[in-house]
Structure 1
Amino acid sequence: MKKIVLLIACFAFLNAGAQGYLKETESGYQGKFIPKLQQEDDALHFLVLGDFGRHGQYHQKPVAEQMGAAAITLDIDFTISVGDNFYPNGIESTQDPQLQNSFEDIYTNTKLYENWYVALGNHDYNGNIQAQIDYTKVSRRWQMPDTYYSETFKLKDGSKLLMVVMDTNPFIDGYYKKDNDMYENIIKQDTTAQRKWLTETLEKTDAKWKIVVGHHPLYSGGKRKNSDDIKAFEKKFASFFDKYKVDAYLCGHEHDLQVVKPKGHYTTQFLSGAGSEVRPSGEREGTLFADNQAGFMCFSVTGKKLLVQLVNEHGDIIYTTEMNKK
């Protein structure tokens, strides 16, 4: 009888591994993983998430669990947040309970303790944005040295990836209303200085790949498809990103998953705003993918390829696309 029980246990253990529960990484860590994710050799791997901070409610916890599984599978280098990190009104200090309840206690997988490069969303602007910047000195993984900043990553073949994290909030015309809770934070920002910095950063780099991160979308087929603010933001930056050969613009704000590349444009937009609550999605001209499933995006970048895989809260890969360079 003991031998039979032992054999059954061994079979269950091995079968679990085949179905996606156990994997040993280079670091020796074992845990749940996503076996169907493509794994590019010698790639820089990172996850992209947005609109997530809701104390674990809605779909935040299952999305976080699958992020951990993807992080182990790909052995990621970092995570990017495209903003709206804390609902509904940001945080007030580096001791705000939401930092624990909506972030630290939710994203607990070992591989999710690699750096998080974080952008500010409009809900973050309702609170103390300096507290999110200051949290960089408190948390080992939280990285927000300023309202906008950049990082350059060296790829395995010696080429580089430039990641530019911008603050889109002060570029949204509708936020300049005195009855808006964001108003006091918005009017303190210098959009001229930020745009000059963006131009210089994108112009002077020798990086092979250029990625810009921001909260607000250039394009949307979702709730804000006909928003005057989004149309105005597109006019301000769509051609600008094309001019400086930005390969990918990562954003959120809409609570869904979208990939959009309008005809005649160089930049592909990846909207990853489904980290917690989701809303109906939709299409527009240039839509390559749109769905309101909760989830996130996985990026794998080599000198020649940028691979993107969209994963839902159940660990299913629901869309894959790639860009190639010589």
Structure 2
Amino acid sequence: MAQGSAAMAAAAFFALLAVAPLLCAPAAAELVRLEHLAKNDGSLSLLVVGDWGRKGTYNQSRVAHQMGKVGEQLNIDFVISTGDNFYENGLTGTDDQAFEQSFTDIYTAKSLQKPWYLVLGNHDYRGDALAQLSPVLQKIDSRFICMKSFIVNAEIVDFFFVDTTPFQLKYWTHPKDDHYDWRGVAPREKYINNLLKDLDEAMKKSSAAWKIVVGHHTMRSVSDHGDTKELLQLLLPVLQANGVDFYINGHDHCLEHISSRDSPIQYFTSGGGSRAWRGFFQPNEDKLKFFYDGQGFMSLQLQQDQAEFTFYDADGNILYQYSQWSLRETYLRPSYVAKE
């Protein structure tokens, strides 16, 4: 079944390559939608990792090894990357050896030979951003499925992958010595307005038991970058209006779970794929449930009525678990069951 799902996802992606220029256009009519079958029992298992592409250094290889072990235990269906896939400045082009050195040669475990659904991070935008969207990379490693914003429907869940880098105004107005590849994005306001409109329409059409948004940048965080005000002002209202359950991100090099005080949305940071930022902590107004300022990754197991998140460190130790019942169930359930 897993191989069938991988083949279906890859086939859907290749079918879209003929219209690849449209995927980068600011006036795209709607988000690309990929289908990924759940398991025969209707469940789904996956791993989430972010901020990893360092050619195996800063414990990237160590984290990858543990991902392989957990992936086998959970019989995962796919992997999600929350961005910053290649440091320091993305890829130089489709022939950049960093692609294989940081991805193909690192995530070698059998359990990780599944589709990887990826968003771009700010460091990816500092290189040739369009290279990561290119079919050339698919020929090198067919697992790599990267677009700017898209949807993965896995029957019981809709994952909304959101291109968050253009939201941050400082990348446009104060880039310092960094260059950002804004091809297909500028002008910023038009791009963001169209993206928010497309997201709102797609979320309203969704009938999945779970709605999960994946982006690179933090919305709520107590680590170095902290909260991203542009996402709170522009993106969060769309999530709240459409009953999104979880927002998953990277950007801060740590593992976090933050519970919103003013909505049911739960925030999860999985940005510990390589270099970690030890010692950075700045509290915010929401409720901090878990924080680890080291390397690691996250798993997510979904059923029709329950989601379970687990954080692991670079040695594969379980650091924290959180379970929640679906708020869209038609029969009474506890609002959540947390294991801390």
**Residues 147-197 of structure 1 deviation map (CA, whole Å, 9 limit, x = unaligned):** 11111012xxxxx20011110011111111265534441536611221111
Larger Rg computed on CA atoms = 1
Counterpart of 1:23 in structure 2 is: none
Counterpart of 1:109 in structure 2 is: 109
CA distance in 2, matches of 1:188, 1:91: 23
What letter is aligned with 1:307?
Answer: E
In structure 1, which of residues 236, 239, 255 is the aligned counterpart of residue 237 of structure 2?
A: 239
In structure 1, which of residues 248, 262, 265 is the aligned counterpart of residue 263 of structure 2?
A: 265
Contact 1:116-1:141 at 8 Å conserved across structures:
yes
| SS of equivalent to 1:84 | coil
What letter is aligned with 1:252?
Answer: G
TM-score (norm 2): 0.78
Q: Does 1:250 align with 2:248?
A: yes
Contact 1:45-1:74 at 8 Å conserved across structures:
yes
CA distance in 2, matches of 1:232, 1:107: 33
Q: 1:179 to 1:216 in 2, by over 3 A?
A: closer
What letter is aligned with 1:272?
Answer: S
In structure 2, which of residues 157, 160, 164 is the aligned counterpart of residue 161 of structure 1?
A: 157
What displacement does 1:231 show? 2.2
* C-alpha RMSD of the superposition: 1.8
CA distance in 2, matches of 1:162, 1:112: 21
What letter is aligned with 2:208?
Answer: A
Unaligned runs of 5+ in 1: 1-25, 28-40, 155-159
Aligned residues: 279
What letter is aligned with 1:245?
Answer: G
**Residues 71-94 of structure 1 deviation map (CA, whole Å, 9 limit, x = unaligned):** 000000000000000000000222
What letter is aligned with 2:130?
Answer: Q
Q: 1:286 to 1:247 in 2, by over 3 A?
A: same
Contact 1:306-1:324 at 8 Å conserved across structures:
yes
What pairs with 1:40-79 in structure 2 (closer than 5 Å)? 43-79=43-79
What letter is aligned with 1:148?
Answer: S
What pairs with 1:206-245 in structure 2 (closer than 5 Å)? 206-225=207-226, 230-245=228-243
CA distance in 1, matches of 2:280, 2:51: 15
Counterpart of 1:200 in structure 2 is: 201
CA distance in 1, matches of 2:222, 2:109: 33
| SS of equivalent to 1:298 | strand
**Residues 49-103 of structure 1 deviation map (CA, whole Å, 9 limit, x = unaligned):** 0000001001101100000001000000000000000000000222211001111
CA distance in 2, matches of 1:117, 1:205: 19
Unaligned runs of 5+ in 2: 4-40, 330-340
Mean Cα deviation higher: 200-209 or 279-288: 279-288
Contact 1:176-1:187 at 8 Å conserved across structures:
no
Contact 2:79-2:112 at 8 Å conserved across structures:
yes
Mean Cα deviation higher: 41-50 or 255-264: 41-50
**Residues 255-285 of structure 1 deviation map (CA, whole Å, 9 limit, x = unaligned):** 0011111212121111000100001343433
What displacement does 1:293 show? 2.0
CA distance in 1, matches of 2:211, 2:220: 19
Counterpart of 1:309 in structure 2 is: 310
CA distance in 2, matches of 1:298, 1:126: 29
TM-score (norm 1): 0.81
